[in-house]
Amino acid sequence: MLTLGTTAQAVASCLLFGLPFLLPYLRRTEGLTLAQGGALVAAPSLGMVVTLIAWGAFADRYGERLAIAVGLGLTGALGFASAGVSSLGARALLFALMGAAGASVNSASGRLVMGWFGAHQRGVAMGIRQMGVPLGIALAGALLPPLARLGGLRLALAVPAAICLLVTVSVVLFAADPPHQRVAEHAGSRSPYRRLILWRVHAASSLLVVPQFALAAFSAEYLVSQRGWDATTAGQLLAVVAGGGAAGRLAAGRWSDVVGVRLAPMRLIALAACVSMLLVALTAWKGVWLVVLALAVASIVSVADNGLGFTATAELAGRAWSGRALGVQNTMQNIAAFATAPLVGALAGSFGFAWAFAAVAVFPALGAWLTPVQGERREHAARVD
């Protein structure tokens, strides 16, 4: 179940979050500005915002297997449709619809993993599942630029769409919903949103998405336009970096299992993300080669916290509400992600990448301050009592 959930997350992420690797190609062939290109590649995040909570409620009611299969299958079909259009507006609409369909995987695969693992294993299990996002991005970095060079945008979109459909078949054949936990469901029947702590987790996690998505959206473009790299070479480097991000999520999950809490490690990672973004800004401003190393470190650090926020959300919400709560978590994160790309693109276009990266560093600092570390400890103490 962990393999299926992680694989589904990875192939959906390749199509939904791998589009920034096509940004240099789109700018060269269609003359898009940074702000326009940023908005286009962020369109799946906008689509996800609309449906994440609904998919979470669907998974709570009908099960994870059906939610993943329906959503991932639609994502692949819409990916094929987007490969066949030439209008920029139609492509943006289909990208948004892909996000709306792919949102099912984000909500339901996390619920699937949480349901099959106990509390002492969830950090690692969710860390592995959350590895699906950077692994999917790594696949996109290695795959999409050479495919675009070989066969244009149509081939670059059709191949990951086909992979989505293949994994959909595997989910239908082999996935199984977790065993029912009636006691947990009854205990968690009241809305967890009556307490402030869950809202703070969502807000902090959303702030921490900003450096993650800023780097995902513009690292390839920065290396190509500012450092003179070839798009394929940039994609290959960033694919390796995304693999490091996947390992970082696993390590963070293991760390949280060892210490028995999720949010204290999340706060420390947020502070590290702030520092690493400032280093990116400084090296970009100086124009030195160390900016490549700084980009790599910041890209790894900025994604490491993600699984911790998801695990904390599911644990605080309880099983009966976990699908909806993960939907809310994803919704708020994707609102932040959708706003990040055009805003950072506009800042970079007006003031340069160094100032844009410096502005991004503010968000993980705010996220660290907002993370309810003490609130989580009180929740744990109350359960023990």
Q: Show the domains of the chain with their CATH numbers.
A: 2-178+188-375 (1.20.1250.20)
Give residue 158's pLDDT band: very low, low, confident or very high (50, 70, 90).
very high
| Pair 75, 12: CB distance under 8 Å | yes
Closest Cα partner for 9 from 162, 179, 173, 134? 134
pLDDT digits (tens, 9 = 90+) for 222-263: 898 888 888 888 888 888 898 888 888 889 988 998 998 899
Angle at which helix 23-30 crosses helix 132-174, to 10 degrees, equals 100
pLDDT digits (tens, 9 = 90+) for 274-316: 999 999 999 999 888 899 999 999 999 998 998 899 889 888 8
Res. 323: pLDDT tops 80: no
When mean pLDDT is compared over 6-15, 80-89, 186-195, the highest value belongs to: 6-15
Give residue 207's pLDDT.
96
- Higher-scoring residue by pLDDT: 246, 365: 365
Give residue 185's pLDDT band: very low, low, confident or very high (50, 70, 90).
very low
240 HSE (CA, 13 A, CB side):
10
Q: What are phi and psi of 176, to 5 degrees?
A: -140, 135
d(CA 324, CA 239): 32
Q: Is 123 helix (H, G, I), strand (E, B) or coil?
A: helix
| Unique residue bearing structure tokens 């055009």 | 342
Tokens of 44: 């799946």
Give residue 198's pLDDT band: very low, low, confident or very high (50, 70, 90).
very high
What is the rounded average pLDDT of the residues 322-342?
Answer: 83
Give residue 385's pLDDT.
53
Give residue 270's pLDDT.
96
